[in-house]
Amino acid sequence: MKTALITGATSGIGKSTAIELAKHNINLILCGRRQDRLDVLQNELSKTVKVHTLSFDVREKEEVFKKIDSLPPHFSNIDILINNAGNAHGLDPIQTGNLDDWDAMIDINVKGLLYVSKAIIPKMIAHGSGHIINIGSIAGKEVYPNGNVYCASKHAVDAINKGMRIDLNPYGIRVSAIHPGLVETEFSNVRFKNDDERADNVYKGFDPLTPEDIADIIAFVVTRPYHVNIGDLVVFPTAQANSTIVNKNFV
């Protein structure tokens, strides 16, 4: 049986991915800061697969390495890493952007992804295989008004994904990125700092993607035969054409 480590498993895409991968008999290491949510998910999924939880903030470099190094032997062989933890913080023009929001997005979406990857990649190399799934965004392919630093962080994920695929090529490690458009999760609640009405409005008037849609795609990507690597995948709700064009009459 394979083992997958999922960051950001307490909510949205990461949580749905955990549920979906359990259906494929993949053992799970579930990560996130909210231990209570990890416990609930562990209780639910332990009926099907082996589940271990690790609570840490991906920004805390030393903690990331300490927690991943603390994995018990039967969880230390990580076959699949899903770099999913991340969020947007704010939606402001560059001239009025909040420095703490900028720090959060760069520290979590970019540096956090790098720390977790650095803690796991040497183990994959030693093992001679592995599959890394980086969750990017359409914001990593296009820039939209007021998206500036979030878009920069996801453009960085796009570049890191390509760089990883080149550098890990000699070791037979697969590297894939999935870049979703609008997915209804807690993403906008975080972006708009718990202004839930504003968050709900983002997804009104059309059928957004669900986190289960992305989990389904991740499961497809990780269950391809070893010689198949889906390198880069952009997925929109049908109502969305790009970052700025969403047909809100398409329900």
**Applying CB under 6 A, which residues contact ligand NDP?**
7-14, 32-34, 57-59, 84-87, 108, 112, 135, 137, 180, 182-183, 185-187, 190, 211
**Looking at beta carbons only, is 42 or 109 nearer to ligand 8X3?**
109
**248 carries an active-site annotation:** no
* Annotated active-site residue in 150, 171, 226, 248: 150
221 binds, among ligand 8X3, ligand NDP, none (CB under 5 to 8 A by kind): none
- Alpha-carbon distance values, 144 to 92, 106, 149, 188, 208 (Å): 11, 17, 10, 15, 18
CB 202 within 8 A of CB 172: no
Shortest distance (Å) from residue 134 CB to ligand NDP: 9
Q: Are 218 and 17 in contact (CB under 8 A)?
A: yes
Task: Decide: is 134 part of the binding site for ligand 8X3 (CB under 6 A).
Answer: no
Confirm or reject binding of residue 83 to ligand 8X3 (CB under 6 A).
no
Torsion angle defined by CA atoms of residues 192, 197, 200 and 205, in that order, rounded to the nearest 10 degrees: -130
Q: Determine if residue 90 is left, alpha or beta; phi over 0 gives left, psi from -120 to 50 gives alpha, anything else beta.
A: left
Indicate the residue among 86 and 147 with the shorter CB distance to ligand NDP: 86
Question: Least distance (Å) from ligand 8X3 to the CB of residue 239?
Answer: 13
Which residue in 2, 15, 67, 154 is the catalytic one? Answer: 154
List own/partner pairs for 134-137 with CB under 8 A and 24 or more apart: 134/83, 134/160, 134/161, 134/164, 134/175, 134/176, 134/177, 134/178, 135/13, 135/82, 135/83, 135/84, 135/86, 135/177, 135/178, 135/180, 135/214, 136/161, 136/177, 136/178, 136/179, 137/179, 137/180
Selected from 11, 27, 84, 137, the binder of ligand 8X3 by CB under 6 A is 137
Q: Which stretch binds ligand 8X3 (CB under 6 A): 69-77, 110-118, 131-139, 159-167?
A: 131-139
State the minimum distance, in angstroms, from the CB of residue 48 to ligand 8X3: 30
Q: 243 touches which of ligand 8X3, ligand NDP, none (CB within 5 to 8 A by kind)?
A: ligand 8X3
Known catalytic residue at 150: yes
Site for ligand 8X3 (CB under 6 A): which residue of 56, 209, 243, 246?
243
Residue with tokens 């991915």: 17
What is the rounded CA–CA span in Å between residue 20 and residue 150?
27
Return residues touching ligand 8X3 (CB under 6 A).
137-139, 147, 182, 243
Q: So which residues are the catalytic ones?
A: 150, 154
